[in-house]
Amino acid sequence: MLELLDLSKRYGEVVSLDRINLVVPPGEVYGYVGPNGAGKSTTARILSGLLRPTSGEAKIGGHSVVTDVLAARQKLGYLPESGAIFEKLTPREYLGSVGELYRLEAKAIGPRIEELLALFVLSPRIDERMDTFSKGMKQKIAWCAALLHQPEVLLLDEPLNGLDAEAVRVVKDLLRRYAAEGRTVFYTSHLLDIVEKVCDRVGVLYRGRLIAEGRPADLCGEGENLEAALVRRWREEGP
């Protein structure tokens, strides 16, 4: 479960998030959408414990990301927007380090790395340094790092950056499977066609405010797809 309770974030005079309230129960894929600068990544960074909220509360699996941060992080798999990885390492070395930091059982780390790399068709590159990998390959490794410890809550910030069609398909199947296993997926993106297909519920963010929430079909007018519906709503909100 993931909860945002009256969550606000200010940078000086600039309001980045304004009293956001939402709850994502286990087994749900929640799409968190909005135009550039709406506050999606700020929300993700607060949930991952990188930023402290100005007021309000954020919880992962019932643990506060401010006061009980280690327990919250243990339950969270985070894929940042930047897709940052340590490129001087090989996938085995990097994912091995991630496994050690999550204190996974030493014997289980190797097979889990191989399983994830096989899922993203990267097994032959397991011992190659990642600084010569393509952008898509690096993003796949970032995915593997987020999934390695089989987190209870998956926090994905623009997770399809650079992925090819085959990988996008793998990801879609994976998200459905994760939700079916009773895990929570929080998916932030501005690519609305994929959100429409994958997410059970969508929260619409505009200038730091949650202006709508519901099933994709409920947010759309007659004959509208999610993209058209949300662009219309953003325009209605004014400049």
Partner 1 sequence: MKPLDDRRIDRRQVSALLLLYRRLGFRAARDSGTGKSKGGPLLIIPSYLLFGGLLIPTLEAAAEARTALIMLATAVLGMSALTLIPDALETQQARIEILSTKPVGERTFALAQALTNLRSLAIVVSCLLLPGSWWLKSTMDVPIPTLLIFGVLTLFCAFALQILWLSLLLALAARLSYERIRTAAQAILMTVLLTSWLPGFVFRALRADDDLASFRDAPWIEALPPSWVVDAYGQGSGPNFYAPRLALAALFIGALLLRRYTTTRQHQRRLFEVILQPPAKTGRPSLELRVLGLLARLGLAKGPSLGVARLILLAMAREDHARLRRMSLRVLMLLNVGAAWMMGLPLMAGVPTGTLAAMLLATELDLIKDSQQAGAAWILEAAPIHKAEISAGARLSLLVSFWSYSGPLLVLGVLPSLSPWIGLAWLLALFLSTYNLLSLALIIRAPRPLSREPRGGFHLATLLVAFLFGTLGGLTQAAFDFAPLPVVALLLLLALLLRHRVRDRAQLPKKLAPQGA
Task: List residues binding partner 1 (CB under 8 A).
Answer: 11, 45, 48-52, 69-71, 73-74, 76, 78, 80, 82, 84-86, 88-89, 93, 97-98, 100-104, 129, 131-132, 145, 149
Closest separation in Å from C-beta 121 to partner 1 = 21
Q: How far apart are CA 130 and CA 110, in angstroms?
A: 18
Closest separation in Å from C-beta 218 to partner 1 = 33
- E-strand spans in the chain? 2-11, 14-24, 29-33, 55-60, 63-64, 76-79, 153-157, 184-189, 201-206, 209-214
Q: Which of 34, 1, 6 is nearest to 157 (CA)?
A: 34
* Minimum CB distance to partner 1 smaller for 60 or for 220: 60
Closest separation in Å from C-beta 86 to partner 1 = 6
Half-sphere exposure (CA, 13 Å, Cβ side) for 165? Answer: 0
Q: How far apart are CA 221 and CA 229, in angstroms?
A: 7
Closest separation in Å from C-beta 186 to partner 1 = 14
* Minimum CB distance to partner 1 smaller for 154 or for 230: 154
Closest separation in Å from C-beta 126 to partner 1 = 16
* Minimum CB distance to partner 1 smaller for 101 or for 118: 101
The two three-digit tokens of residue 123, written as one number: 């097994």
* Minimum CB distance to partner 1 smaller for 98 or for 119: 98
Helix and strand numbers (H, E) in the chain are 9, 10
Coil, strand or helix at 59: strand
* Minimum CB distance to partner 1 smaller for 186 or for 234: 186
